[in-house]
Structure 1
């Protein structure tokens, strides 16, 4: 099929050429306003610019290879992520059980076999379990479990938990990731923020409770730890 060439001119006279070839791969939306996506495809060649947003804001729709087919090397891991996953699934189970119990209790109450206190108690427990599930899930989903960097040092792969306690991988260009200094954190803080220029979404990781597996590559993404 014919090749689809997309180009965008942005930022102080620097030209960022983005090209891709149609194939049997999935479609990916690339926000050029936050830097050009260093796609892991031999069909997509990108001249990288400096960190930070580019202007004018342009959004291009391109096709590229699945980033998951690349080879990634681990640069960070959080050993306690398995415990977080277990607690997350336990909260799901607890909430499910309390919700299932509610209908029989209401039926027994209408039949006169259950007291109003039991109805109020089980309802309160179900509501409390739901609130705790939402709170715990909101926290666990924002904790980074592992981070990987591709061989070209262009793409960062970040693994975290979903609402259901499953692993979810996010692929982001290194040029879109803020350094520790850019986020306003200190490298000696217990909890650090993983922020991007293109989205307000914030994840969290810890070099104190987590482990930096490859310091040299880690610092290529987040800056010096000293």
Structure 2
């Protein structure tokens, strides 16, 4: 009579055995069939999980850049600062007006400036967020990486299959136009770039995405 058998303990990654209580049914407590004498021990086959590579860690080749994106970033952050200062000033002005220390004209003027600053911030951010600063292609030239600004003036990158990007001809633009559209078939969002103010770094890579410029 067998006095001890191997007690199997399974984990998500490895299979380990320790000595423990005896089961005469030919199976371990976890239900794994024990090999019979004279047979090759059963070695469980472990299949490794393949993780998809992070797109942000791949090496991309720049195909387009807009040198003025730094100026747009500075203006965007300046508008944020101006709006914040204006909004902070409004409550004290109202407080002093209630106390009778300032006139209604000053309250109206300050409120108008605050509203105007907010409207200008929204308009500027709406425009700046749609200006493409840089574009890159992966080594296989199947993924386009696009960089543009956020509402807070920070850089934001998104990735799109090249097959999803409309060529210049598909957007209805002419290659000679100053401002061109960057549109995708899968999204209604429209971004803008310019070969006049910007610079095409990789001509072949750029044509791979947007077609011939001539």
TM-score, normalising length: structure 2: 0.77
- Note if 1:187 corresponds to 2:172: no
Residues 1:118 and 2:103 are matched in the alignment: no
Q: Which residue of 2 aligns with 1:31?
A: none
Q: Please list every run of 5 or more consecutive structure 1 residues that lacks an aligned counterpart in the other structure.
A: 2-20, 24-42, 44-62
Question: What corresponds to 1:218 in structure 2?
Answer: 206
Alignment of 1:82 onto 2:82? no
Taking the aligned partners of 2:127 and 2:196, their CA distance within structure 1 comes to 18
Aligned to 1:127, which of 88, 112, 115?
A: 115
* CA offsets 1:49-68 (integer angstroms, 9 cap, x no match): xxxxxxxxxxxxxx733210
1:71 aligned to 59, 64, 72, which one? Answer: 59
Provide the aligned length of Structure 1 versus Structure 2: 170
After the TM superposition, which residues 29-48 of structure 1 pair with which residues of structure 2 at under 5 Å, given as runs? none
Instruction: Give the TM-score, by structure 1 length.
Output: 0.73
Q: CA–CA distance in 1 between the matches of 2:48 and 2:148?
A: 31
1:208 aligns to 2:196 (yes or no): yes
Query: Which stretches in structure 2 are left out of the alignment for 5+ residues?
Result: 1-11, 13-46
Report SS of the residue matched to 1:88: helix
**Which moved further from structure 2: 64-73 or 138-147?**
64-73
Q: Which residue of 2 aligns with 1:161?
A: 149
Q: CA 1:147/1:90 → structure 2, altered by over 3 Å: closer, same or farther?
A: same
Q: Which of 1 and 2 has greater Rg?
A: 2
TM superposition shift of 1:90: 0.4
- Deviation beyond 3 Å, 4+ runs, structure 1: none
Which of 70, 95, 99 is matched with 1:107 structurally?
95
